[in-house]
Amino acid sequence: MSEAMNEEMYQELRRAAEAHRQTRKYVQNFIKPGMTMIEICEELEATSRALVAEKGLEAGLAFPTGCSLNHCAAHYTPNPGDKTVLQYNDICKIDFGTHVNGRIIDCAFTVAFDPKYDQMLKAVKDATNTGIRVAGIDVPLNELGEAIQEVMESYEIELNGKVFPIKCIRNLNGHLIGQYRIHAGKTVPIVKGGETTRMEENEIYAIETFGTTGKGTVHDDNDCSHYMKNFDEQFVPLRLAKSKHLLNTITENFGTLAFCKRWLERAGAEKYLMSLKDLCEKGIVDPYPPLVDAKGCITAQYEHTILLRPTCKEVISRGSDY
């Protein structure tokens, strides 16, 4: 495929990326301790919707705003009624996505107000940039993992008089991105020993790395907020009228993009918890609960979306900030 044939896709990605850059610049200025997580997410999402010129499934938000705190590394967004307030000593991963015509920008950064976390942020940013540097057409995915791990684990951090090695979270990874499909099959490991599959021309990847002072693995936590229709889901007959109705709401508003309970309510869903559980049990919708390392540890994330054009590697979501 020549670049000319893909120019439309490239332009859609760039439009989504520009909205992401402008949104996060605004967020970096307003996010402060004392705000509730719901306030932060709603402000970010309203800004992002306006900047990407949201229009049904043609353009908008690609997935819920992750704002995972401290030992929680990913997939936390507040559910309705969540009273959590951002604290000065929290370390918060802001992970949000924009899309134009299903061309998704998946890009994340870490917010920390206390300078004691600087070394953690530096390690993860360096690791992500290393992954971006090593990436390219015909490069085996495991080469990225090995290079990322070597850089990440060359750092350590002193917290309250104790020195911790910074580890990669080995069961989190980057991923291939498809149209309206955030995880499109191939994974980009962040430790050595991953798959030897190669990156290919015109593929779009999320290159993301996670550092931790904990065990280096995450597990599911309670109170799920993130959900997504199963991309390959075949028709499943539904007995319950309420489940059918909820599925229609999901299909019309989100298609195969991820969503959260706040967004279901925004779309007008009421008393939907049993129906949502039914759709999950039938495999039509998949839940993505918060992913946590050991309590008391800290985790950080940086992520960019890259496009492997035939002639060059474009870091589409790169900005003046990171």
Instruction: Evaluate if residue 199 carries a pLDDT over 90.
Output: yes
Q: Which two tokens stand for residue 101?
A: 């015509």
Percent of all residues in the chain with a pLDDT value above 90, rounded to a whole number: 94
Q: Which two tokens stand for residue 306?
A: 């890259």
pLDDT tens string 98-148 = 999 999 999 999 999 999 999 999 999 999 999 999 999 999 999 999 999
Secondary structure of 236-281 in the HEC alphabet?
Answer: CCCCCHHHHHHHHHHHHHHCCCCEEHHHHHHCCCCCCHHHHHHHHH
Predicted confidence at residue 1, as pLDDT, reads 59
Say which residue the tokens 């007995």 belong to: 239
Q: Please report, to the nearest 10 degrees, the dihedral formed by the alpha carbons of residues 294, 295, 298, 299 taken in order.
A: 50
Predicted confidence at residue 233, as pLDDT, reads 81
Predicted confidence at residue 234, as pLDDT, reads 78
Q: What SS3 state is found at 127? A: helix
Contact 109, 54 (CB under 8 A): no
Instruction: Evaluate if residue 34 carries a pLDDT over 80.
Output: yes
Q: Which of 5-9, 83-87, 140-144, 300-304 shows the lowest mean pLDDT across its residues?
A: 5-9
Other beta carbons within 10 angstroms of residue 34's beta carbon come to 9
Residues 193, 189: Cα–Cα separation, whole Å: 8
Q: Which two tokens stand for residue 212?
A: 């931790």
Predicted confidence at residue 237, as pLDDT, reads 87
Sheet with 291-292, strands from edge to edge, namely: 72-74, 291-292, 219-220
Instruction: Evaluate if residue 183 carries a pLDDT over 80.
Output: yes
Q: Do the bridges between strand 72-74 and strand 59-69 make them parallel or antiparallel, or are there none, so unpaired?
A: unpaired
Predicted confidence at residue 166, as pLDDT, reads 98
Predicted confidence at residue 222, as pLDDT, reads 80
Identify which has the larger pLDDT, 285 or 233: 285
Residues 210, 76: Cα–Cα separation, whole Å: 15
Instruction: Over range 278-301, report the average pLDDT.
Output: 97
Instruction: Over range 302-322, report the average pLDDT.
Output: 96
Which one-letter DSSP state was computed for residue 233? P
Q: Which residues participate in catalysis according to the annotation?
A: 95, 106, 175, 183, 208, 303
Q: Record the pTM.
A: 0.96
Predicted confidence at residue 16, as pLDDT, reads 98
Instruction: Over range 271-284, report the average pLDDT.
Output: 96
Q: Whose CA is closest to 164, among 260, 59, 299? A: 299
Predicted confidence at residue 251, as pLDDT, reads 96
Between 7-30 and 37-51, two packed helices, what is the crossing angle to 10 degrees?
140
Instruction: Over range 292-306, report the average pLDDT.
Output: 98
Residues 86, 177: Cα–Cα separation, whole Å: 31
Please name the helix (run of DSSP H) or strand (run of DSSP E) that holds residue 227, with its range, or none.
strand 226-229
- What are 55's strand-pairing partners? 59
Instruction: Over range 297-310, report the average pLDDT.
Output: 97
Residues 89, 105: Cα–Cα separation, whole Å: 29
Residues 102, 178: Cα–Cα separation, whole Å: 8
